[in-house]
Amino acid sequence: MTEPQLHRHFLHYSELPYSIRVLYTAALLVLGLGYLFALINLYNTYSGKDGNSATLTYQDLVIAYSGTGKGSRLESALSGSMSTMLPPDEVATVVEWVQQRAERGVYEKQIRPILDKRCMSCHDGSNPHLPNFTGYESLLKITERDTGTDIFTLVRASHIHLFGITFIFFIMGLIFGHAYLRPIWFKCAVMGLPFLFIATDILSWYMVKVFAPFALITMGAGALMGLCFAFMWFVSMYQMWFSGTPPAVVERGTRVASVG
């Protein structure tokens, strides 16, 4: 079976000017660093919700999206992922306040100073993944029974992720498109599947609230998206600077030169 001819518009990295390769390399380096920090943020946001801060587990995601079904979100956090962020006596003070109907007077005198000192650097409302602690009314929402992330917070996070990650993989795909990789269907799959994975990942957030095992789909889609990113990143960097020109590209250049 003969190998399909190179498309007339295909240019391998070796055929690009150094200026374009430098541009692509700079973009890849920054995107790679950004993806690394995104993974760290993901771990920091979700790990430990089940009481085990050492790992990010299936149960962490179930609790994050559908809640524990008992107690309040604030109590769940203070007994799980946030248990090490406050001294035990301050944790006890906050939990006692929640269990005693979360009165406003006690909040102003005892709870607000603790939150201002320990929590507001992260829970100031700037991160859609984290509860907003700015004000009594905002805090009151997470003293109710823990039902996980509310729908409107998921919607806000969804559109941010859909737009942002689409742009990331569009740029990655443009750069990776210059890679010589066979079979062609595999190359196309690596470029196209991340868009399916991000849509599946985000839609599964909502389904976890209805059926907990959808958290496995969330984990699987996220992991596969990461694998596609890593594969395109390493292949692009390797072929751009470390590998030789593929024989098919050399042959095409020789053929064009002979015709000319």
Q: Which residues of the chain have pLDDT under 70?
A: 1-4, 51-54, 69-70, 80-81, 129, 146, 256-260
Identify the pLDDT of residue 82: 72
Identify the pLDDT of residue 130: 77
Residue 52 lies in a domain: no
pTM: 0.75
| Residue at a domain's end among 128, 143, 158 | 143
Identify the pLDDT of residue 52: 67
Identify the pLDDT of residue 205: 94
Q: Which H, E and C letters describe 8-21, residue by residue?
A: CCCCCHHHCCHHHH
Identify the pLDDT of residue 239: 97
Distance CA 120, CA 137 (A): 15
Are 60 and 47 in contact by the 8 Å Cβ rule? The answer is yes
DSSP alpha helices (H): ranges in 47-127? Answer: 58-66, 73-79, 88-99, 104-106, 112-118
- CB contact burial 178-213 (16+ within 10 A = b; e otherwise): bbbbeeeeebeebbebbbebbbbbbebbebbbeebe
| Residue at a domain's end among 143, 163, 184 | 143
Identify the pLDDT of residue 1: 44
Are 235 and 181 in contact by the 8 Å Cβ rule? The answer is yes
Residue 54 lies in a domain: no
Identify the pLDDT of residue 81: 66
Identify the pLDDT of residue 216: 94
| Residue at a domain's end among 87, 121, 143 | 143
Residues 104 and 225 in one domain: no
Residues 39 and 120 in one domain: no
Angle between helices 18-46 and 214-241 (to 10 degrees): 150
Helix (H, G, I), strand (E, B) or coil at 145: strand
Residue 158 lies in a domain: yes
Residue 65 lies in a domain: no
Identify the pLDDT of residue 131: 79
| Domain enclosing residue 131, as ranges | 70-143
